[in-house]
Amino acid sequence: MNLQGLMKKETIRRVTIIESLYYSESFLSSDQLIDQLDCSLPALINDIRYLNNDDTPLQIRKHKGLYHLDFDPGSSIDTYYAGVLNKVLEFQILEGLFFERLTCIQKFSAQLNCSFSNLQRYLKKIDSGIQQWDFHIYHRPLRIEGNEEMIRQFYYLFFKEKRMPFKNYGFSERLLQGVDKFIHLLMQENNVTNNMNTHFQLLHHFLIALHRITKEHHLDTHLPNSSAVKLGSEIDQFNLRCLIERELKIPFTDQLMKECLWPLLSDKIVLNAEQQNTQRNKNLYLAAFYHTHRELVSRVNEELGYTLSESEVSEALRILGNDIYFFYPNREPISILAAPKKYMITLLRMKYSRAISKIERIVQTFLDTSHLPYTQERKDIYCCSLIIGIPHLLERLTVREKPLKVLLLSDASPKHEVLWGSILENFIKAPLHYEYFETPFLEPEKLAAVANKYDLIITDVTMPKLDTNTAIIAVNSCPTPQDLVAIQQFFDNIAPVEQCQLERYA
């Protein structure tokens, strides 16, 4: 569940317009957009005019009655989400609650150019939206308190999606450089390279923790005295401690250092196999997580014909842990505006429909048998983690499918079927076994008998009506994109039971 519900109705509608156009395979008509938005044509036209006139890195264009989206060079839908988070008042309030610079409603409403009564209404609405994550808005002074881990993770995701510059945390450039250098050295010492995402994640968390500490908000989680994570040399820690104490005027103890690195020390982020192997023997909860999810990876391995190595299994478990352990077993996953996992699955389904469906069935069975909460968002997170954590998973699952027998039949030239075969091998994500028709002519009865030997016939010949259950797809002599889509959809839409029968009786 994300925070789109906090926004006004027209803002939600405009975000939906951008998402629909961005992720659509083709241009969309007014009727299609109206159906998706459940709005009137004047409202749609007004929203499109607003988006085109707004200071956003995009333009919605209309060509022959169909709408499409053009982004400025170097921009994407993530840039648009960041703009929404920076402009919408509800999200400005969330940011202000974090920094606690104004702790009474009167001054806060004046800063936001918002009336006292409206700010109270917004605060009540925001509080109802965030309480699912076990933290709340408190008054006198205005602040957010509750589950401190969830608060810090929430603001990490919020500031990341908002693309907030690190300087906006309010620390000096010298301190920012010192923390950045310390994180860099820490990752080097733990043999983690070429991982910008983890670097930025640890940097955000360190700065969020520093700010929360200055406002006297501390973790109530016990952090271990020892860990497989190497926290840098004593001189590196000393230099950073001096920078922090000089600027923040607080004694920066070893305990506060651990608090700033809590995602590492609580095993919410596992950097490498060495840390994984050590911590699974020390952290009983992490060990239980890996034990439970090994069953999930084993089910995937079974579908792959038991081809995963032990190192691949361990790496898949590490990726699952980094994505899921934070909210495991019963917490609600945190998301802000974007739904990258949902759209990643949607886009991959266009090319790997059957493989995606197979992964989804494995995940759903796992969640059911493990008695874990089931939501679409949770299922998408699991599926994406498996796809990212297991190299070439979709391709490997596709190759494991029993190939369908396809007859290529063309009257254009003797070599045309061979050309088709080479085109289809490059564009169709499906295990298809191609054969060519060598007999120059057959009566319809005999042709029907030949057709029954195949699962699909692809042809540019006008075929007589045949007494056969074999599917026939008519294509141009040079297959068009529409022809390729039709062939891909045929494979994607075969009922699972039908495919199982093909495998059983092959």
- Mark whether 299 and 241 lie in a shared domain: no
Expressed as residue numbers, the domain containing 61 is 4-85
Q: Categorize the per-residue pLDDT at 194 as very low, low, confident or very high, splitting at 50, 70 and 90.
A: low
Q: Which helix (H) or strand (E) holds 433?
A: strand 432-436
Residue 121 lies in a domain: no
Residue 181 lies in a domain: yes
- Mark whether 248 and 307 lie in a shared domain: no
Instruction: Decide if pLDDT at 407 tops 90.
Output: no
Indicate the length of the chain as a whole number.
Answer: 506
Distance CA 96, CA 141 (A): 12
Q: How far is CA 253 from CA 135, 179, 219, 257, 399, in A?
A: 27, 16, 14, 6, 55
Which range, of 77-91, 200-214, 349-363, averages the lowest pLDDT?
A: 349-363
Task: Tell me the average pLDDT across 137-164.
Answer: 96
Residue 47: CATH number of its domain: 1.10.10.10
**pLDDT at position 491, please?**
82
Joined tokens for residue 496: 């699972």
Question: 393 near 316, Cβ under 8 Å?
Answer: no
Q: How far is CA 107 from CA 99, 416, 463, in A?
A: 14, 76, 78
Instruction: Decide if pLDDT at 59 tops 70.
Output: yes
**pLDDT at position 305, please?**
94
Query: Among residues 357, 382, 398, which one ends one of the domains?
Result: 398
- Mark whether 152 and 209 lie in a shared domain: yes
- What's the structural domain count of the chain? 4
Residue 12 lies in a domain: yes
Query: Among residues 352, 372, 398, which one ends one of the domains?
Result: 398
Strand 404-409 and strand 135-138: the pairing is: unpaired
Quick check: helix, strand or coil at residue 2?
coil
Residue 117 lies in a domain: no
**pLDDT at position 497, please?**
40
Q: Is the pTM of this model over 0.75?
A: yes
Which range, of 179-183, 271-275, 475-479, averages the lowest pLDDT?
A: 475-479
**With pLDDT > 90 as the criterion, what percentage of the chain qualifies?**
68
- Mark whether 196 and 229 lie in a shared domain: yes
Which range, of 322-331, 418-427, 488-497, averages the lowest pLDDT?
A: 488-497
- Mark whether 406 and 367 lie in a shared domain: no
Q: How far is CA 429 from CA 36, 77, 403, 459, in A?
A: 29, 27, 11, 19
Q: Categorize the per-residue pLDDT at 500 as very low, low, confident or very high, splitting at 50, 70 and 90.
A: very low
- Mark whether 447 and 484 lie in a shared domain: yes
Residue 430 lies in a domain: yes
**With pLDDT > 70 as the criterion, what percentage of the chain qualifies?**
94
Residue 422 lies in a domain: yes
Strand 66-71 and strand 404-409: the pairing is: unpaired
Distance CA 261, CA 238 (A): 15
Distance CA 33, CA 13 (A): 10
- Mark whether 165 and 245 lie in a shared domain: yes
Closest CA to 58 of 4, 104, 10, 18: 18
Task: Tell me the average pLDDT across 390-406.
Answer: 89
**pLDDT at position 444, please?**
65
Residue 190 lies in a domain: yes
Residue 38 lies in a domain: yes
Closest CA to 268 of 186, 193, 205, 214: 205
**pLDDT at position 397, please?**
92
- Mark whether 293 and 322 lie in a shared domain: yes
Task: Tell me the average pLDDT across 142-158.
Answer: 97
Instruction: Decide if pLDDT at 96 tops 70.
Output: yes
**pLDDT at position 506, please?**
42
Instruction: Decide if pLDDT at 290 tops 90.
Output: yes
Instruction: Decide if pLDDT at 321 tops 60.
Output: yes
- Mark whether 187 and 221 lie in a shared domain: yes
Instruction: Decide if pLDDT at 503 tops 50.
Output: no
Task: Tell me the average pLDDT across 146-162.
Answer: 97
Q: What is the DSSP letter of 307?
A: -
Q: Categorize the per-residue pLDDT at 403 as very low, low, confident or very high, splitting at 50, 70 and 90.
A: confident
Distance CA 476, CA 402 (A): 27
Question: 155 near 141, Cβ under 8 Å?
Answer: no
**pLDDT at position 293, please?**
98
**pLDDT at position 504, please?**
39
Query: How many alpha carbons fall within 13 Å on the CB side of residue 474?
Result: 4
Position 398, amino acid: T
- Mean pLDDT: which of 330-344, 383-397, 434-448, 454-468 is highest? 383-397
Instruction: Decide if pLDDT at 221 tops 60.
Output: yes
Show the beta-strand stretches assigned E in 57-120.
Answer: 58-63, 66-71
Q: Categorize the per-residue pLDDT at 111 as very low, low, confident or very high, splitting at 50, 70 and 90.
A: very high
Task: Tell me the average pLDDT across 219-227.
Answer: 78
Query: Among residues 366, 398, 430, which one ends one of the domains?
Result: 398
**pLDDT at position 482, please?**
85
Q: What is the DSSP letter of 464?
A: P
More confident residue, 498 or 53: 53
- Mark whether 265 and 153 lie in a shared domain: yes
Residue 406: CATH number of its domain: 3.40.50.2300
Q: Which helix (H) or strand (E) holds 146?
A: strand 143-146
Average per-residue pLDDT for the chain: 90
Question: 398 near 360, Cβ under 8 Å?
Answer: no
- Mark whether 354 and 438 lie in a shared domain: no
Q: Which helix (H) or strand (E) holds 435?
A: strand 432-436
More confident residue, 434 or 111: 111
**pLDDT at position 1, please?**
59
Instruction: Decide if pLDDT at 161 tops 90.
Output: yes
- Mark whether 394 and 419 lie in a shared domain: no
pLDDT tens digits along 128-148: 999 999 999 999 899 999 999
